[in-house]
Structure 1
Amino acid sequence: MSLHATTTVEASADVSLRVPRGGTEDLTSGVAGVLDAVDAVSAVTVERVTSVRPGNTDIRVDADVTVVLELPAAASGGVTESARPLAVETQLTDGFGITQVNEVESVDPVGDA
Structure 2
Amino acid sequence: MSLQATPPTEVSADVSLRVPRGGSETLAAGVADVLAAVDGVEDVAVDRVTSVRPTWTDIRVDADVSLTMQVDGDRTELLQEGFGVMAVNRVDVAGDA
TM-score (norm. length: structure 1) = 0.76
Q: Which runs of 5+ in 2 are unaligned?
A: none
Aligned partner of 2:77 in structure 1 is 90
Aligned partner of 1:34 in structure 2 is 34
CA–CA separation in structure 1 for the residues paired with 2:93 and 2:72: 14
Q: Which runs of 5+ in 1 are unaligned?
A: 74-86
SS at match of 1:63: strand
Q: Which runs of 4+ in 1 moved over 6 A?
A: none
Aligned partner of 2:93 in structure 1 is 107
CA–CA separation in structure 2 for the residues paired with 1:43 and 1:71: 13
Cα offsets for 1:32-89 (capped at 9, x unmatched): 000000111000000000000001100000000000001126xxxxxxxxxxxxx111
Q: Quote the sequence identity (%).
A: 57
Number of positions where the alignment pairs a residue of Structure 1 with one of Structure 2: 93
C-alpha contact (below 8 Å) 1:16/1:60 kept by paired residues: yes
C-alpha contact (below 8 Å) 1:4/1:72 kept by paired residues: no
Cα offsets for 1:77-102 (capped at 9, x unmatched): xxxxxxxxxx1111111110001001
Larger CA Rg, structure 1 vs 2 = 1
C-alpha contact (below 8 Å) 1:7/1:72 kept by paired residues: no
